[in-house]
């Protein structure tokens, strides 16, 4: 390991599941040593994703103690002893997906890192990677959206939601965006949503979607909220429609009888991003496309706030309280 790398670092550790009080900001964590096929990155910006709250609360299980976080960007400071390192070397600026990113240093498998294009402003790669790849893979692989399709996007002003709305606009789909406040709906409109529904206020969301679609329903629903909208989703789909349920911000969808899909020959998916980018070629393809889209100005990446690492609890409180629009970042 390079001599300039210290032995201890700042980071956020959890030893048990719970509320934001279990997030421990520490200054004495050991700096990891990269193993075969790994690189050691000195993180500069760390992406916050809703999934981090699930690993904190216990909705998703993971071994403890654990440094939270799934995404960051920074500079490589050391490489592991051999293995497939994809030509990465110390000094390279990379963005990556992987565990334990709420820290000054992360050791990560090289296969889940990508060089940051030189034209990208600091923080933009970490602000885009996980949410942008999620949206891009969902509209290609979960349901391949076609021009003219009616698509319902819930939480349209959220991190993934803003990506979805902009990418759908580029495809030429007709997007119905939902959100909980007028300001969020305006943001969805600015991003290209043609129709807007305040799903906190609207008593008849199903009727509204039917009205918009001339009684037919939508070709697909992209639902990151989970429990609260699931029944509505089944109702608003057209014959042979696709329900992509990909998150739990309102809670997990309860057990479900598949025979209910028969009434309209509905396809139901519960995908996760990592399944779409597990193969290195797919990772390269989608990540390169994502950065091309940003560099040519086809999408606008909205950063909600950059929080100091020590204020991680405030960031978790903010994202869970529905007060955020776009990406939350931590800065080391």
Taking residue 170's Cβ as centre, other Cβ atoms within 10 Å add up to 12
Considering only CA atoms, which of 258, 189, 197 is closest in space to residue 232? 197
The one among 248, 294, 301, 312 contacting ligand NDP by CB under 6 A: 248
Q: Give how far Cα 38 sits from Cα of 44, 271, 272, Å.
A: 18, 27, 23
Nearer to ligand NDP, 85 or 156 (CB): 156
Question: Structure tokens of 121?
Answer: 């402003």
Nearer to ligand NDP, 19 or 119 (CB): 19
Question: Structure tokens of 283?
Answer: 């990772």
Q: What is the DSSP letter of 257?
A: -
Nearer to ligand NDP, 42 or 184 (CB): 184
By CB under 6 A, the residues from 159 to 178 that bind ligand NDP are 159-161
Nearer to ligand NDP, 218 or 328 (CB): 328
243 binds ligand NDP (CB under 6 A): no
The one among 45, 50, 88, 143 contacting ligand NDP by CB under 6 A: 50
Question: Structure tokens of 328?
Answer: 């939350």
> What dihedral do alpha carbons 65, 5, 329, 229 form, nearest 10°?
-40
Q: Which residue is nearest to ligand NDP (CB)?
A: 158
Q: Please spell the DSSP secondary structure of 298-314, one letter per residue.
A: SS---EEEEEEGGGHHH
- Kindly determine how many residues on this chain lie close enough to bind ligand NDP according to the rule CB under 6 A: 30
- What strand order describes the sheet that includes 24-30? 24-30, 8-14, 66-67
How many angstroms separate the CA atoms of 160 and 157, rounded? 8
The one among 249, 290, 307, 329 contacting ligand NDP by CB under 6 A: 249
277 binds ligand NDP (CB under 6 A): no
Binding string, residues 206-225; x marks residues near ligand NDP by CB under 6 A: ------------------xx
- Window contacting ligand NDP (CB under 6 A); options: 8-16, 88-96, 245-253, 277-285: 245-253
Query: What is the binding site for ligand NDP (CB under 6 A)?
Result: 49-51, 130-131, 134, 155, 157-161, 179-180, 184, 224-225, 228, 246-250, 271-273, 319-320, 322, 324
């Amino acid at each position: 390991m390079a001599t300039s790398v210290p032995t201890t670092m700042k980071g956020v550790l959890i030893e048990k599941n719970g509320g934001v009080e279990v997030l421990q900001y520490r200054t004495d964590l050991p700096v990891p040593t990269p193993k075969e096929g790994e690189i050691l990155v000195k993180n500069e910006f760390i992406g916050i994703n809703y999934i981090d709250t699930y690993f904190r609360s216990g909705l998703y299980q993971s071994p403890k103690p654990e440094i939270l976080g799934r995404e960051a960007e920074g500079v490589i400071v050391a490489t592991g002893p051999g293995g497939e390192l994809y030509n990465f070397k110390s000094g390279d600026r990379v963005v990556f997906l992987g565990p334990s990113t709420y820290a000054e240093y992360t050791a990560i498998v090289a296969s889940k890192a990508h060089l940051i294009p030189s034209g990208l402003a600091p923080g933009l790669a970490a602000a885009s990677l996980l949410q942008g790849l999620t949206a891009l893979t969902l509209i290609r692989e979960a349901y391949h959206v076609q021009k003219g399709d009616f698509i319902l996007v819930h939480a349209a002003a959220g991190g993934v939601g803003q990506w979805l709305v902009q990418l759908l606009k580029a495809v030429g789909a007709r997007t119905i965006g939902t959100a909980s406040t007028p300001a969020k709906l305006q943001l969805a409109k600015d991003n290209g949503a043609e129709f807007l529904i305040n799903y906190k206020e609207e008593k008849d969301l199903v009727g509204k979607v039917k009205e918009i679609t001339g009684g037919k329903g939508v070709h697909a629903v992209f639902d990151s909220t989970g429990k609260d909208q699931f029944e509505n989703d089944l109702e608003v789909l057209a014959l042979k429609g696709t329900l992509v349920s990909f998150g739990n911000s309102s809670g997990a969808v309860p057990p479900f009888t598949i025979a209910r899909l028969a009434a309209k020959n509905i396809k139901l998916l519960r995908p996760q991003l990592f399944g779409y980018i597990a193969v290195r070629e797919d990772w390269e393809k989608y990540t390169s496309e994502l950065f091309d889209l940003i560099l040519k100005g086809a999408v606008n990446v909205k950063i909600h706030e950059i929080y100091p690492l020590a204020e991680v609890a405030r960031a978790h409180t903010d994202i869970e309280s529905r007060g955020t629009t776009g990406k939350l970042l931590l800065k080391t």
